[in-house]
Structure 1
C-alpha cells in the first residue's frame, strides 16, 4: 500500500496492523477505530482524516501530514512522530505515552485531557496549542515553543498543576 491513493476512503475498523502505508494519500479518509499499530505511515498525507479511537501504538509516523485530523481518544503510545505536522489536529483524550514528537508541529492543536506521560516534545512547535487537563508528567519539553499555549490545569513534567500564577514560558521548575 506504499504510495497508495486512498483519499476519502472508508477504512473504519480496518485491521492494518504492520501495514506499509508510507507516502500514501489518506487525506479525508475515515480510519476511526482502525488498527494501525506498528504500521509505517512515514510521509503519508492524512490531512483532515478521521482517526478517532484508532490504534497507532508503536506506529512509524515520521513527517506525516495530520493537519486538522481528528485523533480524539486515539492510541499513539510509543509512536514515532518526528517532524509530524499536526497543525490544528484534535488529540483530545489521546494516549501519547512515550510518544516521540521531536520537532513536530502541534501549533493550534487540541490536546485536552491527553496523556503525554514520558513523551518527547523536544523542539516541538506547541504555539497556541490547548493542553487543558493534559498529563505531561515526565515529558521532555526542552526547546519547545509554548508561546500562546493554554496549559491551565495541565499536569506539568514535574507533577505540578499549571495555573495562571505561573504564566510564561515553561522553564522546567
Structure 2
C-alpha cells in the first residue's frame, strides 16, 4: 500500500510539473516571438554603404531591407529589387533606379528628386509626402501607389500606369502625364497647373477641387 501511495504521489507530482512547464512555456511564448521578430529586424537592417557594396558585387535582391533615412544620393541601383523595403525619409535624389522593383516599398517622405525611375515598378508603394520633382518616371508602374501630398513638379510621368493611385493634394505643376493611365485615380485637390494630360486616360478619375489652370488636355476631353 505504501508503495502504491508513493507511486500515486509521484504521478501527481510529474503531472503538476508537466502542467507547470506548459504554463511557463505559454507565458514565454510572446517573449520568444518578440525575440524572433527582433532578430529578423536586425538581420534586415542595412546601411547604405553595405547595400552599395553588395550591389557592386552583383547582388540585386534586397527585398524587405530596412534603409530608413539612408543616404543613397546619386547611387546607381538600376534593376535593383527593393520590394516591401523601408526607405522612409531616404535620400535618393539623382539616383539611378531605372527598371527597379519597388513593389509596396515604404518611401514615405523620401527625396527622389531628379531620380531616374523610368520603367520601374512602384505598384502599391507608399510615397506620401515624397519629393519627386523633375524625376524621370516615364513608363513606370505606379498603380495603387499612395502619392498623397507628394511633390511631382516637372516630373516626367509620360506613359506611366497610375491606375487607382492616390494623388490627393499632390503637386503636379508642369508634370508630363501625356499618355499616362489615370483610370480611377484620385487627384482631388491636386495642383495640375501647366501639366500635360494629352492623350491621358482619365476614365473614372477624381479631379474634384483640382487646379487645372493652363493644363494641356485633349480637345475632346
Alignment TM-score > 0.5, same fold: yes
Separation in structure 2 between the aligned mates of residue 103 and residue 139 of structure 1, nearest angstrom: 14
Q: Tell me which residue corresponds to 2:71.
A: 10
Q: Tell me which residue corresponds to 2:145.
A: 84
Q: Does 1:121 align with 2:182?
A: yes
Structure 1, unaligned runs of 5 or more? 160-171
For this pair of structures, how many residues does the alignment match? 160
Q: Does 1:133 align with 2:221?
A: no
Q: Tell me which residue corresponds to 2:167.
A: 106
TM-score, with structure 1 as normaliser: 0.91
Separation in structure 2 between the aligned mates of residue 101 and residue 86 of structure 1, nearest angstrom: 10
TM-score, with structure 2 as normaliser: 0.72
Q: Give 1:73's match in structure 2, choosing from 127, 134, 149.
A: 134
Q: Give 2:92's match in structure 1, choosing from 27, 31, 49.
A: 31
Separation in structure 2 between the aligned mates of residue 147 and residue 112 of structure 1, nearest angstrom: 17
How far is the alpha carbon of 1:21 from its aligned partner?
A: 0.3
Separation in structure 2 between the aligned mates of residue 125 and residue 135 of structure 1, nearest angstrom: 17
Larger radius of gyration: 2
Q: Give 1:95's match in structure 2, choosing from 147, 152, 156.
A: 156
| Higher helix proportion | 2
For residues 110-134 of structure 1, what are the alpha-carbon distances to aligned partners after superposition, in whole Å with 9 as ceiling and x for unaligned?
Answer: 0000001100000000000000000
Structure 2, unaligned runs of 5 or more? 1-61
How far is the alpha carbon of 1:151 from its aligned partner?
A: 0.4
> SS of the residue aligned with 1:18?
coil
Structure number with higher relative contact order (C-alpha < 8 Å, ≥ 6 residues apart)? 1
Separation in structure 1 between the aligned mates of residue 184 and residue 92 of structure 2, nearest angstrom: 29
